Structure 1
Amino acid sequence: MRVHAAGGALASPIKVTAATVQRGDIIQLGGQACRVSDLVQLSHGAKQLVFESGELLAIHGRTRLDALRLLRRR
């Protein structure tokens, strides 16, 4: 299923892990949508997500999160 995001862009709901999360992904945390602005590789396959708000979240290599990914037009 594809969802229209703000500005008319298409967004697709996906599951992300430390290996698949990307800059720009929107992750719902505590009822608030947070956009990933940067990623830092940690040991043992973990990653630290840096959100646009400045908040940080470290996820284990096996963590799975629901996210929205904006689809790029070709």
Structure 2
Amino acid sequence: MGERAPGGALVSNIEVTSATVQRGDIIQLGGRACRVRDLFRLPQGAKQLLFESGELLAIHARTRLIVVRPLRRR
């Protein structure tokens, strides 16, 4: 179901699109793990992702990315 991250938190690797990406998702870009801090809607279903580092990434509505998502406690 979930895996343990180095810090001990339960995480899950999942595929996301612009419709399903969430704040807190961690995306591997250029060998660096980038955590999504905020999301902004763009025309035609695209989104712009703002990372904790201050960097931006725009993704098309059909873009598919693998992210690490911390599992929420129930």
TM category (shorter chain) comes to over 0.9
| SS of corresponding position for 2:7 | helix
How many matched pairs?
74
Task: Name the aligned partner's letter for residue 48 of structure 1.
Answer: Q
- TM-aligned CA deviation for residue 6 of structure 1: 4.2
Counting aligned pairs with the same residue, the percent is 73
Give CA deviations for 1:5-64 in whole Å, capped at 9, x if unaligned: 243210000001000000000001111100000000000000000000000000000000
Q: TM-score of the superposition, structure 2-length normalised?
A: 0.94
Q: Which runs of 5+ in 2 are unaligned?
A: none
Q: Which runs of 5+ in 1 are unaligned?
A: none
What is the alpha-carbon root mean square deviation over aligned residues? 1.0
1:36 paired residue number: 36
- TM-aligned CA deviation for residue 3 of structure 1: 1.8
Q: TM-score of the superposition, structure 1-length normalised?
A: 0.94
More helix by share: 1
